[in-house]
A and B are shown apart, each in its own frame.
Chain A
């Protein structure tokens, strides 16, 4: 990848004799932090926001009172600019520019294309390339679902997110009971059968959602037990989840008097961000995906 792919047009420039207040206004108007300084068509310097900070009166009153305010309007770009900007060719690779910025502490390069000035590339522009090269950071998503109230968009949203980010997806339903899971020693055949039934139901619901979304994805179905929010948070930590997707039930009537929803509890307990989905009819999800 070359620097020319990072350039913005038109190139905003300033002149040596421009008063610094005017140059600052240009920076603000165009949302740029650096201005190449020209004398005719020749590049003579680079003006940055930090140069303007150096020129301005001190933020400390005890020092500011010694500023010669009457002369401030006479200060020009030439008085404060950096006189030897680093210049690179537009065909320089981004990797080489990153190495140069690292080696000599350059914060911005003036980029030329042949004899013409083509623009400015800053460290922030270079890091923008890295931001888009890296995976989104969603490696694993835990969809905390409630079979009692229906999946209500949680699994659909989780599948869409996982598919978009290539993340692994686990759907977890926590039984708020004190029974024993199949892994627990001494679980009866009835208990094992019940857990399997719940697991199958999660799988069926996930499959139905995938059909409505129009694409398939691998979903691991799990059943847990115990206090719902702490169990979801514990499993998210075990699975090293990057996101928990959970239903956000709206409390009604007396429930509003202090009863916290699972989503509310999870925000305080979870080891990762929590995405709370308001309940929506399933047909709406299918529609949105199209």
Chain B
């Protein structure tokens, strides 16, 4: 069973020039992550944790309005992690899970060269887990 069998092509993505205010709308869940794509080429993956690190501390002198304005001025590319974990079409699901667990990521872009073909998400794997265990029992 390969990662390509669970490839999701319609996953939402961000542009590196998008603002953090827009990224915040895509990353509502604590484990959410979204690929950042420039003309179908993968630039990186932005996770909810990266956004949490960029947001003001709870002990800040900024007001809610000022925080909103500040987030509109910062682009996704400014907080995008330098490294990204990707898999190819032939990567096995088992290897993809191992990568997700050891690198602590919840989304793996599936790429051919720099081109992003789709993503493999933790949600799809949780569905697969429930199905697999039902098959065993």
User: Which residues of A are at the interface with B, using a C-beta cutoff of 8 A?
Assistant: 1, 33, 48-50, 53-60, 62-64, 66-69, 71-72, 75, 79-80, 93-96, 98-99, 101-102, 105, 107, 123-124, 126-131, 133-137, 242, 271-272
Contacts and interface: CB of A to CB of B under 8 A. Distances in A.
Given A95-B133, A133-B136, A127 B52 contact: no
Contacts of A94: 129, 133
Contacts of B95: 137
5 contacts: A48-B30, A63-B67, A66-B56, A95-B137, A124-B101
Secondary structure type dominating chain A contacts: helix
B53 A53 contact: yes
A58 B55 contact: yes
Contacts of B129: 94-95, 98, 126-127, 129-130, 133
Contacts of B64: none
Given A63-B62, A105-B29, A105-B31, A57 B130 contact: no
A127 B122 contact: yes
Given A53-B52, A128-B101, A131-B94, A123 B128 contact: no
Interface string B74-88: 100011000000000
Interface in B99-137: 100-101, 104, 106, 122-123, 125-130, 132-134, 136-137
A62 B125 CA distance: 39
Interface string B16-44: 00000000000001110000000000000
Contacts of B74: 60, 62-63
A57 B60 CA distance: 8
Given A63-B70, A131-B97, A271-B90, A99 B58 contact: no
Secondary structure type dominating chain B contacts: helix
B126 A98 contact: yes
B65 interface: no
Given A60-B78, A67-B56, A99 B130 contact: yes
Given A98-B130, A124-B101, A67 B30 contact: no
A101 B126 contact: yes
A272 B107 CA distance: 23
A208 to B, nearest CB: 32
Nearest to B98: A131
Interface residues of B, number: 49
A69 B61 CA distance: 10
Given A63-B70, A124-B101, A129-B129, A53 B90 contact: no
B48 to A, nearest CB: 6
Contacts of B53: 53, 56, 58-59
Contacts of B56: 57-58, 63-64, 66-67
A136 B1 CA distance: 9
B9 interface: no
Contact of A66 (B61, B100, B123): B61
Nearest to A73: B59
B37 to A, nearest CB: 22
Contacts of B70: 60, 62-63
A55 B53 CA distance: 9
**A-B complex: 10 closest residue pairs judged by Cβ atoms:** A137-B92, A53-B52, A95-B133, A68-B59, A130-B129, A131-B97, A102-B126, A105-B29, A57-B57, A98-B129
